[in-house]
Structure 1
Amino acid sequence: MAERFGGWPGGTRGVPEISASELAQLLGTEQEPFLLDVREAEEVEAWAIPGVVHIPLGELPARHHEVPRDRPVVTICAAGGRSTAAAEWLRSVGVEAASLAGGMGAWGQVYDAVALERAGARVIQVRRRGKGCLSYLVGAGDRAFVIDPSLDTWVYEDLAAEEGWRISDVFDTHLHADHLSGARRLAEETGAVLHLNPADPFEFPFEPLADGQRFELPGGASLSVAAIHTPGHTEGSTLYLLGDQVVLTGDTLFVDGVGRPDLAERAEEFARNLHRSLQQRVLNLPEDALVLPAHYSEQVRVHPEQPVGATLAELRQRLEALGLPEDEFVAWAAARTTPRPPNYVRIVQANMGRLALAEDALRQLEAGPNRCAA
């Protein structure tokens, strides 16, 4: 078998390494490698790349027969040490293996993007692969809007520059709890106007959104943005409707579930609000409207050239909860409540503008997957 990792740089001990961004480009394609996570069980349970096979490093000599010999193998750990040892050992017994450089820490910082055209405008979905976070640039002419940016604001500035856009307006769909928002930073760096829903308790200057407000793009584009408040996941949860063709649902509706009302406490009250929001503000949109959410779970398969999204018609068929009467929906959602992770409280405080920490400390808070869906 040809050595498909032969052109990749060697890390410690000369073992080939694959970067997190290179790995992201292979996932969901015919070239997808076998993913072997060699961390301990509790680490994998807390956070893992979708599709991994778990064999702890200490068990690998006894279980190496579970690793295929007919396809490349990428070994994974927290930071790259154990995965390098695993890849070295596997290569000694004839397995074509490479280590994920930087481990899960590097995976948490990987972005890729996919674009689609709607009504004369261009929508770019930015995927933060290790977090399952989705954000968006919507541009036409020489301007663009950014919705739900992560803290790595360079991603959006670089994409806008490639398209010849000036970022004029920045939005968040809600007060995020699972990751750090880059909306305020991006607005400051680009001179854009920051728009937020005042129903969430932000403690810094912004332009308050009003229900039904519209934001037009230049260049004759027919695609526009409308803010529609959808209380439920948080009190200020907001949708952005792009014409009648695309709806950016934030954490109100996902491709594999609905928002978790317990993340803002008062679970039963918020579940009732969420049901009404879904029925009255989302599900009355055209059946072919494309739902583009702010997150996706580990169960969602991501493909390089295909946005994470689904039409309302597809979601009606896929998600039983969308057809439940209000009381049944509330009982269903309340039964799935879990305590908010402690780091989520501090992330919320940081996103509110109440908590000031060094950036390394902030990024440590958001390590791991999102858990915003019910």
Structure 2
Amino acid sequence: MASEIEASALLRLLDEPETLHVIDVRSQEEFAEWSIPGAFNIPVEEIDARVNEVGSGLVVVVCAAGPRAERAAQILADHQMDSSVLRGGMAAWGEVYDDVTLKLGNATVVQVRRRGKGCLSYVVGGSQSCVVIDPPVEIERSIAVAKAYGWKITHVADTHLHADHVSGARLLSETTGAQLLMSHLDAYLFSHPSFENGDVITLGGDSEIQVSHIATPGHTSGSTTFVLDDTALFTGDTLFLESVGRPDLADKAEEFAGYLFDSLHQEILKRDDSILIFPAHVGQAHPFRTDELACATLGELKGRLEALSMSRHEFVAWASSQASPRPPNYEAIVEANRGGSSLSFEEITSLEAGPNRCAVSPS
């Protein structure tokens, strides 16, 4: 039986691509849909004839869940080539996390990254307490970060009603007793405190910090951006590092594209170019590194995203016409996040496998 490697160990090795060869033995269609950065696709049926393409060094073989990778590893062994199989396959890759920390004035920002899906969550703390923004359903990740810094979780917030992954906000709030903050403009089925545009979360302690929230509809009706002391914006799915949020998931693409343009120009783009943008997702092409935050200054995004310089007419026409496949199982995920699903926790979380698709295609 081939040796195995854990997804967490593979994550660390990705920072050294010159010594690593990830061979994905799924079909070309599966590979095109979702893959590990830097992976090379050789379907298992072809690997015997293409062993010369595998390369030398550390070889990790990947498939959806494991069986095809084990077959491929045996074929490689028959050719006297060592390899390891990614335990749990792409399903395990979709569940692996790491985090990176940044000090911003009196605040500390911890970016919790689910790198296999490109999902980003944030724990923002002062000296004693913190707010968790867009927490993953694996709430122990957020709790562990808060514990490591000695913070009490006093607030939990979602930037919007998520469609591509299961939110941990409600469960984290119930577990910790933190105040749950969500927009009443998104169609949640459970009661929660509603916040108004401009409301402020104050994190007390030796040095008080403030996180305010502003309405930025467009991706969803209730999309919200959180502002940290005028140094950072947590933009959810309104503004990404590669594009802007898709406006079509509510089946009102032109109307919501107009809302999105107004949100960007009235609430975000008018701010100082030095402010940092922290989105809720990044695309597959984003070059994650273990010690680097996934973020950019607003000025950097203005310089590289053509959509931000379009007229309103151009933007609406572009954003409403760039439909891409919707997130896998998005209707069931939305229903779970609304609080209306009858599925078990295990069934709900199994719906998340695959890439996120909440941005407008930049091309």
- Specify if TM > 0.5: yes
Number of residue pairs aligned between Structure 1 and Structure 2: 360
Report what 2:297 is aligned to.
Answer: 311
The answer to whether the aligner puts 1:49 opposite 2:19 as a matched pair is: no
Distance 2:327 2:91 in 1: 19
Determine if contact 1:212/1:228 at 8 Å carries over to the other structure.
Answer: yes
**What is the CA distance between 1:66 and its match in structure 2?**
1.0
Report what 1:263 is aligned to.
Answer: 249
**What is the CA distance between 1:67 and its match in structure 2?**
1.2
Determine if contact 1:343/1:366 at 8 Å carries over to the other structure.
Answer: yes
**What is the CA distance between 1:44 and its match in structure 2?**
1.5
Report what 1:181 is aligned to.
Answer: 167
Tell me which amino acid in the other structure corresponds to 1:24: L
- Return 5+ residue gaps in structure 2 as ranges: none
Distance 1:263 1:322 in 2: 21
TM-score by length of 2: 0.96
User: SS at the partner of 1:221?
Assistant: coil
Distance 2:25 2:328 in 1: 27
Determine if contact 1:131/1:368 at 8 Å carries over to the other structure.
Answer: yes
Distance 2:111 2:327 in 1: 28
**What is the CA distance between 1:51 and its match in structure 2?**
2.1
**What is the CA distance between 1:120 and its match in structure 2?**
1.3
Distance 1:61 1:339 in 2: 34
2:9 aligned to 16, 22, 28, which one? 22
Determine if contact 1:144/1:160 at 8 Å carries over to the other structure.
Answer: yes
Distance 1:352 1:339 in 2: 22
Determine if contact 1:118/1:223 at 8 Å carries over to the other structure.
Answer: no
- Report 1:51-90 matches (<5 A): 51-69=38-56, 71-90=57-76
Report what 1:114 is aligned to.
Answer: 100
Q: Which runs of 4+ in 1 moved over 6 A?
A: none
- Report 1:90-129 matches (<5 A): 90-129=76-115
1:196 aligned to 182, 187, 190, which one? 182
Determine if contact 1:180/1:347 at 8 Å carries over to the other structure.
Answer: yes
Report what 2:23 is aligned to.
Answer: 36
Tell me which amino acid in the other structure corresponds to 2:315: F
TM-score by length of 1: 0.93
1:288-321: CA deviations, max 9, x gaps?
1110100011011101001101001110111111
**What is the CA distance between 1:223 and its match in structure 2?**
3.3
- Report 1:309-348 matches (<5 A): 309-338=295-324, 340=326, 343-348=329-334
- Report 1:161-310 matches (<5 A): 161-310=147-296
Distance 2:276 2:16 in 1: 23
**What is the CA distance between 1:90 and its match in structure 2?**
2.0
Distance 2:201 2:207 in 1: 12
**What is the CA distance between 1:341 and its match in structure 2?**
5.0
Distance 2:59 2:209 in 1: 44
Determine if contact 2:164/2:328 at 8 Å carries over to the other structure.
Answer: no
Report the CA distance shift for 1:30/1:142 in structure 2 as closer, same or farther (over 3 A): same
Determine if contact 1:202/1:351 at 8 Å carries over to the other structure.
Answer: yes
Distance 1:172 1:284 in 2: 24
The answer to whether the aligner puts 1:134 opposite 2:120 as a matched pair is: yes
Determine if contact 2:162/2:334 at 8 Å carries over to the other structure.
Answer: yes
Determine if contact 1:29/1:303 at 8 Å carries over to the other structure.
Answer: no
User: SS at the partner of 1:207?
Assistant: coil
1:138-180: CA deviations, max 9, x gaps?
0112211100011101111111111111111100000000111
**What is the CA distance between 1:94 and its match in structure 2?**
3.9
Distance 1:63 1:221 in 2: 61
**What is the CA distance between 1:324 and its match in structure 2?**
0.4
The answer to whether the aligner puts 1:145 opposite 2:144 as a matched pair is: no
**What is the CA distance between 1:46 and its match in structure 2?**
2.3
1:232-282: CA deviations, max 9, x gaps?
000000000101111100000011110000122200000011011111111
Report what 2:350 is aligned to.
Answer: 364
The answer to whether the aligner puts 1:373 opposite 2:350 as a matched pair is: no
Tell me which amino acid in the other structure corresponds to 1:288: S
Tell me which amino acid in the other structure corresponds to 1:88: Q
